[in-house]
Amino acid sequence: MTDSSTLLKNLETALCKHDDEMMGETLDAALNAGVSAANIHHALIQGLEQVRHQLMSNDTSIPDFLLCIDTMTAGLDRLSAFRKSDKANKGEIPIVIGVVEGDPHDLGKNIIAAIYKNCGYRVFDLGRDVSKESFIKSVKEHMPRVLALSAMMSTTAMVMRDIIQEVKAESPDIVVIVGGAPLDETLARSYGADGYAETAVTVLEETEAAIQRAFEGKTWSSSNQI
């Protein structure tokens, strides 16, 4: 019988090779072997990070990267039913997520939304090019614990400041997480966000940390690095 560490490594390999058949077979074997959904999820994220670094160093192409994302999404979808009964379920904490107005780039947002969904959060995905008014309306309608904003262009990232200010004026207890290529932790703070996720690897940890800080009445201190 294949041990859990080998199965997790094989999941990473399946994602890196964008091998859907291997992904499905290995994922089923891991679940049957009692490997936790959290560990499976971590392996998928690690595989995606490997491919991302390969893309940055020109060791892989954008089409291959997109195929790897498709394989990851298929793996997350396969994991979804199992996560619903997993004890690690977050009690379906509601999250509103979207790409800010003027920005058509939703690839990163789609990955993050899938991660949230398959880790037990209740996700209201507004899509891309979402107006400030639509974010405010959705927050009022769904009363989420978290608002996740994404932007991939510096010109659209600036819109986040107004969105955060107006949303918090209406819902002061909401936790706002931001992410995207033009952002860093310093900029995220200046916009009034409660957390910044640099990559898919850090998004769950930072979201949970931001929720915990809000619960304890603490601010996002400068010592809290991602």
Does the pLDDT at position 222 exceed 80?
no
Q: Is the pLDDT at 156 greater than 70, yes or no?
A: yes
pLDDT at residue 86, as a whole number: 53
Check residue 153 and give its pLDDT: 94
Amino acid at residue number 49: E
Contact, 169 vs 194, CB < 8 A?
no
The pLDDT tens digits of the residues spanning 54-80 come to 887 888 888 888 899 889 888 888 887
Whether residue 225 is predicted with pLDDT greater than 90 in this model: the reply is: no
- Please tell me the predicted confidence (pLDDT) of residue 188: 95
Burial of residue 29 (CB within 10 Å: 0-12, 13-18, 19+) is middle
Would you list the domain boundaries of the chain? 4-84, 94-216
Please tell me the predicted confidence (pLDDT) of residue 84.
60
Mean pLDDT of 159-167: 96
Same fold, 4-84 and 94-216: no
Across the beta sheet with 195-196, the strand order is 122-125, 94-99, 146-150, 175-179, 195-196
Q: Please check the confidence at residue 85 and state whether its pLDDT lies above 70.
A: no
Q: How far apart are CA 196 and CA 142, in angstroms?
A: 22
pLDDT digits (tens, 9 = 90+) for 25-51: 999 999 989 888 878 888 998 898 898
How far apart CA 137 and CA 181 sit, in angstroms, is 26
Q: State how far the Cα of 68 lies from the Cα of 133, in Å rounded to an integer.
A: 34
Kindly report the CATH number that applies to the domain delimited by 4-84: 1.10.1240.10
Could you report the per-residue pLDDT of 177-220, keeping only the tens digit for each? 999 999 999 999 999 999 999 888 788 889 999 999 988 888 77
| pLDDT higher than threshold 80 for residue 87 | no
Asked if residue 224 has pLDDT above 70, the reply is no
Determine what percent of the chain is predicted with pLDDT higher than 70: 92
Give the Cα separation of 96 and 122 in Å (integer). 9
Per-residue pLDDT band for 223 (boundaries 50, 70, 90) equals very low
Enter the CATH code of domain 94-216: 3.40.50.280
Give me the half-sphere count of Cα atoms (radius 13 Å) on the Cβ side of residue 218: 12
109-140 pLDDT, tens per residue?
988 998 888 777 899 999 999 999 999 999 99
Give the CA diameter of the chain.
56
